Amino acid sequence: MNRSIILLVYRNLVASVDKIFFVWQIVFPIIYIFIAGYSYSALLGGHGVRVGEALVTYPAYLSAGMIGFNVMNSSTVAGSIIWNDRRNGMFQQILVMPFTRVEYIISNVLTIMLMGFASASLIVLAGIPTMLGNADITPAGIAYVIYGLFAGSLFFGSVTIIISTRLKSSEGFNVIVNSVFLFFSFASSAFYPAQGVPDSLRTAFYVNPLTYVVDITRAGIFNQLAAATNTEVIVISAASAGAFLLAVMSMMRVKV
């Protein structure tokens, strides 16, 4: 990997990432899994949720979904880093050093990937009690989970980068990002399956990239890999590549 990118990633992790935010990124999903997971499970009357051919408990279903959800939440860091760097004059200072804009973007995306993988690993460990008897981990499944997290980080990180280059206030950035991510969160299969919802809402589910991220993650965790999973991989790959290209173009237009 390019040494400049490694230096920028290190700088992001040490100086730009808020440690309290990272802790919250781990604590919130864990609390949600155990409180909402078992509370909503009672409403289901003990019935499981179907994932492919498998029937899993709702807490296990939610635990797997929260992994992808947390990757999306972690991506706000990329936009925050860029916005704060521009406000504080750090962006200009970085560009007069031996760093390019593309290296700067890649370092921000890699930063949220590392945060996403770290928080996802801790969520998996914390969620083991909910997944016992449900998860069926295989090498192929692990590969799909890792790719789902990678693609999700790339897509959502690129989205926050694009938003951060278009807005001039932190308040506007936070409002827009939170509004967009609120739609992504609840119009997806992160918290509930797409089966049985109204047709219009199901359409929104499958326009939403988060659905593909969490579906791929679940398919890997519960060993329900199928042709549909590969289709979802293709869709999220295309969406992530397109979003990253737009993010690069947006950064190229930012005036120093």
Q: How far apart are CA 191 and CA 66, in angstroms?
A: 8
Q: How many residues does the chain have?
A: 256
Hey, is 232 helix, strand or coil? helix
Half-sphere CA count of 136, side-chain side, radius 13 A: 12
For residues 218 and 153, what is the distance between their CA atoms, to the nearest angstrom?
Answer: 16
What is this structure's pTM? 0.87
What average pLDDT does range 142-150 have in this prediction? 92
Query: 174 falls in which pLDDT band (50, 70, 90)?
Result: confident
Tell me the two tokens of residue 20: 């309290």
What is the span of the domain harbouring residue 157? 3-253
Domain count, the chain: 1
Per-residue pLDDT of 185-230, as tens digits, reads: 888 888 888 877 888 888 888 899 999 999 999 999 999 999 999 9
Q: pLDDT digits over 44-70, tens only?
A: 766 778 888 888 888 888 888 888 888
CA angle, residues 115, 118, 120, in degrees to nearest 5: 105
Q: How confident is the model at residue 256 (pLDDT cuts 50, 70, 90)?
A: low
